[in-house]
Structure formats: C-alpha cells, structure tokens
C-alpha cells in the first residue's frame, strides 16, 4: 500500500469483522492513515487484494478543514452524512425527511453535542468539531466505520463518551477500524490491537 507506486506498507494481512473494534497504533508517519486510505480507495494497493464487503462505509478523518470554514451549522454538517441514503424521490417524502432529522438529532446526542445543532461549525473547538465529524459518520448508518485519531483534542469525559459510542456500534454489528495514539482512551471499545512499524502491520499481544 502506498502512493505513486511507492509502498509504505508491505505484507499486510488483516481482516476486520462485524462486532470488532480494531485499534491501529504506531509512530507518526508509520503508515497508519495510509491503511485507512487504502480501504477508502485513496491509497494504492500495489500488490495482492483488498476487499470491502459493504458499500456503507463511514469515515472520520483527522481533520476536515472544509467543515470548519464553510458557513454551515453543526446540524447541517452532520446531515451531509445522510446523503448516501438519499435520492431525489426519497427527499420528497415527509417521513424520509423526518427520519433524517431524527437521525441527526440522535447522533448529536450520542456524541454530546445535542445543544450545538444550530451553532456554526466554525465556532466549535477542535475537539467539538471532531465529535461532530463522528456524528456525521454515524448518521450514514455504516456497516464499516473508519476513524483516524478520533480522540485527539477531545477532553477525557468526551473520550469516554466516544468509547461508549464505538462499543455500542460494535455490539450492533458494525466493524470498526480506528487509528489512535491513545488506545487507553478507547479501551472500553477495543477488541483487538494492531501496531504499524517498519512498514508492516503486526498484532499487539493482549
């Protein structure tokens, strides 16, 4: 896996199943994000194969500079996550629009931002913006959820909230793959840990 024909990760042999929350740790620049980007099709698979068994993939990036500068409220940013479930005819149905509103409200409540739905995204702190991006991924009803450093800049209380959210998703049958420098913050959700070093991905002993 890599970019422009240059491999950053070699001999990767892993699988993430339903009801698992797999943490990926490693030093900066080791290739953790490349692993997620390969799953999304944004990094090259230079050999072998990579299979994603569902089109319903949620993604929480390390940062989303567009979300923080576009003049949109938190609720509007989170609602973007519903677009993959939406078609023009569906949006004409009041029941569908109501379901979208309820999904956005529920996701914001899960990440502790229920009172911020009408707040401009640019006014949130970095940690709050990260939680909003988690909510945006959740409303897409993913079967595979990818997260890149979701606890960075998030205070301890809301780190625990995120851990509870991920554990709930896992128990509901979602496959979760999370890159993190803070695995202890998500210990309540993580079922297995991997470490990236020297261009390879290995299992961390329990």
Tokens of 67: 């979300």
Q: DSSP string of 82-132? A: GGGG--HHHHT-HHHHHHHHHHHHHHHHHTT-GGGTTSBGGGS-HHHHHHH
* Whether pLDDT at 180 is above 90: yes
Average pLDDT of the residues of the chain: 87
pLDDT (mean) for 12-16: 87
The reported pLDDT for the residue numbered 69 is 67
Domain presence at residue 134: yes
Q: Which helix (H) or strand (E) holds 201?
A: strand 200-203
Domain presence at residue 199: yes
The reported pLDDT for the residue numbered 91 is 62
b vs e for 12-34, b when ≥16 Cβ sit within 10 Å of the residue's Cβ? beeebeeeebbbbbbeeebbbbb
The structure tokens 């042999």 sit at 13
Three-state SS string across 30-47, please? Answer: CCHHHHHHHHHCCCECCC
Domain boundary among 140, 156, 175: 140
The reported pLDDT for the residue numbered 87 is 67
Q: Are residues 125 and 153 in the same domain?
A: no
Domain presence at residue 59: no
pLDDT (mean) for 38-64: 84
Q: Are residues 6 and 29 in the same domain?
A: yes
Q: Which helix (H) or strand (E) holds 131?
A: helix 126-138
| CB contact set of 128 (below 8 Å; sequence gap of 6+) | 113, 116
Domain boundary among 117, 140, 163: 140
Q: Are residues 121 and 81 in the same domain?
A: yes
Domain presence at residue 40: yes
Domain with 31 in it: what CATH number?
3.40.50.300
Domain carrying residue 26: 1-54+143-206
Q: What are 31-42's pLDDT values in tens digits?
A: 888 888 888 888
Number of domains in the chain: 2
Tokens of 131: 């939680």
Q: Are residues 94 and 152 in the same domain?
A: no
Q: Which helix (H) or strand (E) holds 3?
A: strand 2-3
The pLDDT > 90 percentage for the chain reads: 46
Q: What are 61-118's pLDDT values in tens digits?
A: 887 766 666 789 999 999 999 887 766 666 667 777 888 899 999 999 999 999 999 9
Q: Are residues 163 and 194 in the same domain?
A: yes
Domain boundary among 87, 111, 140: 140
Domain presence at residue 60: no
Q: Which helix (H) or strand (E) holds 21?
A: strand 21-26
**Most confident by average pLDDT, 5-14, 67-76, 149-158:** 149-158
Task: Report the DSSP pairing between strands 192-197 and 175-179.
Answer: unpaired
pLDDT (mean) for 136-142: 93
The reported pLDDT for the residue numbered 68 is 62
Domain presence at residue 64: no
What is the band of 4 on the pLDDT scale with cuts at 50, 70, 90?
Answer: confident
The structure tokens 């990260």 sit at 130
Domain presence at residue 66: no
Domain presence at residue 67: no
* Whether pLDDT at 137 is above 80: yes
The reported pLDDT for the residue numbered 88 is 65
């Amino acid at each position: 896996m890599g970019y422009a024909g240059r491999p950053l990760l070699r001999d990767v042999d892993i699988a993430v199943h339903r009801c698992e929350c797999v943490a990926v740790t490693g030093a900066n620049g080791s290739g953790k994000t490349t692993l997620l980007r390969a799953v999304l099709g944004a990094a090259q698979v230079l050999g072998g194969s990579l299979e994603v068994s569902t089109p319903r993939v949620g993604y929480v990036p390390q940062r989303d500079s567009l979300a923080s500068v576009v003049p949109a409220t938190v609720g509007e940013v989170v609602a973007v996550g519903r677009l993959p479930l939406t078609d023009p005819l569906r949006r004409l149905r009041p029941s569908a629009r109501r379901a979208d509103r309820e999904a956005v409200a529920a996701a914001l409540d899960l990440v502790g931002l229920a009172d911020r739905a009408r707040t401009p995204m640019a006014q949130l702190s970095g940690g709050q913006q990260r939680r909003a991006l988690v909510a945006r991924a959740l409303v897409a009803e993913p079967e595979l959820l990818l997260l890149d450093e979701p606890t960075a800049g998030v205070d301890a209380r809301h780190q625990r909230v995120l851990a509870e959210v991920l554990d709930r998703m896992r128990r509901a049958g979602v496959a979760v793959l999370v890159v993190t420098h803070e695995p202890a913050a998500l210990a309540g959700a993580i079922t297995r840990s991997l470490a990236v070093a020297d261009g390879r991905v290995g299992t961390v002993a329990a």
